[in-house]
Amino acid sequence: MARYFLELTYNGTAFHGSQVQGSTPTVQLALNKALSTILREPVETFGASRTDEGVHALCNYYHFDTDKELLQVFFYNLNSILPGTIAVNKMFLANDPELNSRFAALTRRYRYRIYAKKDPFILERAYHFPFKLDRALLDETAKIIMEHENFETFSKRNTQSFTFICKIHQSYWEQVDKELHYVVEANRFLRGMVRGLVGTQLQVARGRMTMENFRAAIHAKDCTLADFSVPGHGLYLENIKYPDGALTELFV
């Protein structure tokens, strides 16, 4: 039995999240159905990172097992049968057949896109936020986030996590053409965490929360003090890293 990894990109507005939820349209359900159809056997995939309804992915990984030989035509057939809102970018063989796409991931990087001037061509691709923001305050809040490891304040309730500890590797804002982006990379993320970080920082940048209150909110470990209201369609899962040598790319 061999284990394969698929690198996917998808438009999150077409799905009610990435993880299987019965018959509700999700990324994982579409992938399971496509793989089962091609391989003519029940196939269950396992995702590296769960994304919420509306959240996009430029790079998410799913692994699955099969004892069938997979030729290059499999890669093309899979993309053909998947809906147009999902694409398989790359396919890998796991060098360790027990390698888990979720638990073996070293880091995950997310990007949240904001634009101020109404633009119909990026509707549901970024968050329209036509309010004045203090960029210096955003830069400061992003640096403060780097100082902490417990992010219980930025985790939605009813989470399945046993710990709220996350190691943040990057946290910064940058201007990209006409858009303002927040980039955050960590070893793991909590439920709703990135949207909570973005929404709460925006409250500071609009003058609705002081920097002292922002720091206090982090220490309070109370999710009612965070703002999770920013929409999912502004968020992108951008990159996932695995240990060097863990995967061998196929059909290059």
* Residue 96 lies in domain: 2-104
Residues 60-83 have pLDDT tens digits of: 999 999 999 899 999 999 999 999
223 within domain boundaries: yes
Q: Is pLDDT larger for residue 251 or for residue 252? A: 251
The whole-model pTM stands at 0.95
Residues recognised as catalytic? 52
Q: Into how many domains does the chain fold?
A: 2
Residues 116-167 have pLDDT tens digits of: 999 999 999 999 999 999 999 999 999 999 999 999 999 987 766 689 999 9
249 within domain boundaries: no
Residue 173 has a pLDDT of: 98
248 within domain boundaries: no
DSSP string over the chain? -EEEEEEEEE-GGGSS-SS-BTTB--HHHHHHHHHHHHHTS----EESS---TT-EEEEEEEEEEESS---HHHHHHHHHHS-TTEEEEEEEEESSTT--TTTT--EEEEEEEEESS--GGGBTTBEE--S---HHHHHHHHHHHHT--B-GGGS-SS---S--B--EEEEEEEEETTEEEEEEEES---TTHHHHHHHHHHHHHTTSS-HHHHHHHHHHT-GGGS---S-GGGEEEEEEE--TTSEEE---
Last residue of a domain, one of 104, 127, 158: 104
Q: Are residues 126 and 77 in the same domain?
A: no
Last residue of a domain, one of 104, 122, 141: 104
Residue 240 has a pLDDT of: 98
Q: How much of the chain exceeds pLDDT 70, in percent?
A: 98
Residue 157 has a pLDDT of: 76
